[in-house]
Amino acid sequence: MQLSSPRLRAALLAAASLTLVAAVLPPPKPLGIGDTLFPQLGNPGYDVLSYDLSFTYKDNKSPLDAVTVIDARALEPLERINLDFTHGTVASAEVNGEAARFESAGEDLVLTPARPVAAHVPLHIEIRHTSDPRGIADGGWVPTEDGLAMANQADAAHRVFPCNDHPSDKAYFTFRITAPAVLTAVANGVPGALPAARAAGATTWTYRTLHPMATELAQVSIGSSTVVEGAGPHGLPLRSVVPAADRKRLEPWLKKTAGHVEWMEQRVGRYPFENYGVLIARAKTGFELETQTLSLFENGLFSGDGYPEWYVEAVMVHELAHQWFGDSVTPRTWSDLWLNEGHATWYEALYADGLGKYSLERRMREAYQRSDQWRAAGGPPAAPKPAAPGEKIGLFRPVVYDGAALVLYALRQEIGEKAFDLVERRWVAAHRDDTAGTADFVRLASEVAGRDLEAFLGPWLYGKTTPAMPGHPEWGGPKSV
């Protein structure tokens, strides 16, 4: 039969081309960049520069229609492109404006472009897919009483959108969220445009980040929410998102944020992003999360049931501290997690100490007594054991929280408070908007101290047992309790 339509002929030729390419390539397989804790997370061969994510929300039990646009740069010739993506259905994919074959392999979405991609050239990917909020056990979308929020740490962003889901590949983000007009949608960063009315009573909200961000730190909130704005030190825009019905009750907590930012800036320097705020959700997650510029908190933390005010404030400071340690300075590998959680725990403990409620020395002494037990159960701070299968959140153990803060306490005891404070300031300044690892921290601490600290810090970071604490012979050896 003669083909009479040029468009039809082009489509069939493109399909035939993809079939021929696929025929000579081996079956697709999941790839990874070899992270010790998540070996199949991330993908080789390209560097993501930006994500443009569009979500259309109906309700928190229905898949969202979504479009993910990725601008990247090929680092090597690519016959196939692996992305991390699962828990969604792909409708179509394009690479550099041409239809691409797509297949699943494990938790990877594997694209076969119509023609191989050369090294060192721009890479533009567009994928139409669904994003399914059902099944929260593995993270990603978190259903709330009135909508959705995100909790992507450690490896759940690819349950929401196709991505290079490893913190070593940070990128800029744009979010476009379409939701019923009665709801409010908020995301990381600043508004990219005014909310735009759509057909059938919907509104589209647009946000963009002004600094690069790891996929695990992405945040989108949709619900019956109120956005409460304010100002922090040097005019820093503060923007918090709370359930509309709880605004009056929560406002006293929101007013504390400016003081928390000022307290952190006095210790480590200027806040590193475009704005900050807390997102308080009516959900039970079992954790709080440092999503970039908009930290996620359970509403129950602020309910007044069982949590003293000083403790709640210290937790708020913990997530705020992550904006410097973990968000701005992002771990190069997941084994560097101690640099995130250890520092956030350190400033949480320092804040509580300043309130006179729980002294830093007491907390560190108690951590010291438990340290050997934590190391035996979860590995040393800078070489944690992988989480058990099906328990990915299990990576977040005491050894990378108080056990890692104990390493910082030991460093301060060894080099003195003045040198330690300089290490902290130089760390966040030198690696702002970048990734860094444990070796970088040891190197910087050595430079500031004026001597090689590798022999001192090595056992603290990698030892099976806990070294003696400088300046505290009365603590004796570590005790398992």
Residues 6+ positions from 138 with CB-CB distance below 8 Å: 87, 156, 159, 392
Contact (Cβ atoms closer than 8 angstroms) between residue 257 and residue 241:
no
- Name the residue type at position 125: I
d(CA 294, CA 239): 8
116: left (phi over 0), alpha (psi -120 to 50) or beta: beta
45, two tokens: 């061969």
- 3-state DSSP helix/strand/coil % of the chain, to nearest 5: 35, 25, 35
Coil, helix or strand for 442?
Answer: helix
- The confidence score (pLDDT) of residue 481 equals 39
Per-block mean pLDDT, blocks of 10 residues, the chain (481 long) = 44 48 77 94 97 97 97 98 96 98 97 97 98 82 95 94 98 98 97 89 97 98 97 97 96 97 98 98 92 97 87 98 98 97 98 96 97 97 89 86 98 98 98 98 98 98 97 76 39
Q: What count of other Cβ atoms lies within 10 Å of the Cβ of residue 422?
A: 17
- The confidence score (pLDDT) of residue 23 equals 53
- The confidence score (pLDDT) of residue 394 equals 80
- The confidence score (pLDDT) of residue 12 equals 43
The per-residue DSSP string of 231-286 comes to E-GGG-EEEEEEEGGGHHHHHHHHTTHHHHHHHHHHHH-S--SS-B-EEEES---S
- The confidence score (pLDDT) of residue 232 equals 97
Q: How far apart are the first and last CA of the chain?
A: 81
- The confidence score (pLDDT) of residue 178 equals 98
- The confidence score (pLDDT) of residue 139 equals 85
